Amino acid sequence: MSLWFAEKEFSREDEFSHKVEKLSREIVQHKMQADLMRAHFEDFRQEVALEIPGNKFLKPDDRLRDLASIIPHSPNLVPMDDAISRKNLKLALALHEEKKYEEATQGFLKVVSEYPESTSSLEASYYLAQSFYLTGNKQEALVWSEKMLKQFPDSLWTAKALLITADIYKEQERKNDVIEIYQMIINTFDSAELKEDVKRRMADMGS
């Protein structure tokens, strides 16, 4: 009888170790697939870089702008990295809600620097600009807004970052620059809600 139990125990453990082994093999396979995908994407980025001359300044209506905007950003390339970056973004956002802007800044910086190609890096860039603005570091806020304009010219998060730029210019009493930014947002982005917000701000300025 005890031998029968021993046999059952061995077969259950054996089943478990087989499952573990099978899972390990699957993980190795998935990692290899992810690495291959990333490598092919990096190859494509070099190909795109060949098409964009170095001295060419990309204007808002430039067709090459669409190509350029894919160079740093690749959504959902590595699902595991994307999940981790979203988690880190959530943590940083929670700190931001609690007005712990210094710690939130560190969290957003971590997402942007360690997972530049994740879907969270865009939102993290915007909140980074906002955190710098709220902690009085206006120069850094402007730097990040400009980075977003260069790298993600079509994104609504960039439009929101431009509103931060406009707020900074307003504090510096650069009325013409503020109006120029508002006009650029209205002309470039399609969001009706955003346009309404910008028109309201212009009306408040009395222009």
Partner 1 sequence: MRSVLAAFIFVFILVLVSGSALADYQEQPKHCLKQLKNPCAIWTFKKTHLPRAGMQIFASADALFEISENSIYQIRGMLWVVSDKSVTVESRFGSVKSEGNGEIWTQADDQSFVVRSLANTLIVLPRGDTQGTDLGPGFETRLSYINRNLRMADTSWATPINLVVHLREFNSVVPNAEVFKQKAGSYAGVVLVAAQQAAKDLKKIVDRHVANAQTPGGPKYVDPAMGGRDSYLRKLFRQKNNFAE
Nearest CA-CA partner of 33 in 80, 83, 82, 86: 80
Chain length of the chain: 207
Residue 33 found at the interface with partner 1 (CB under 8 A): yes
Which one of residues 12, 19, 26, 36 is an interface residue with partner 1 (CB under 8 A)? Answer: 36
Per the CB < 8 A criterion, the answer to whether 165 and 144 are in contact is no
Which one of residues 50, 63, 173, 190 is an interface residue with partner 1 (CB under 8 A)? Answer: 50
How far is residue 33 from each of residues 81, 84, 86, measured CA to CA in Å?
Answer: 14, 18, 21
Which stretch in 44-52, 96-104, 126-134, 139-147 sits in contact with partner 1 by CB under 8 A?
Answer: 44-52
How far is residue 44 from each of residues 39, 51, 69, 176, measured CA to CA in Å?
Answer: 9, 11, 13, 41
Which stretch in 52-60, 82-90, 112-120, 148-156 sits in contact with partner 1 by CB under 8 A?
Answer: 52-60
5 vs 97 by CB, closer to partner 1: 5
36 vs 205 by CB, closer to partner 1: 36
Q: Amino acid letter at 189?
A: F
6 vs 83 by CB, closer to partner 1: 6
Residue 27 found at the interface with partner 1 (CB under 8 A): no
Half-sphere exposure of 70 (CA within 13 A, CB side): 17
| Residues in touch with partner 1 (CB under 8 A) | 3, 6-7, 10-11, 14, 17-18, 21, 28-29, 32-33, 35-36, 39, 42-43, 46-47, 49-50, 52-55
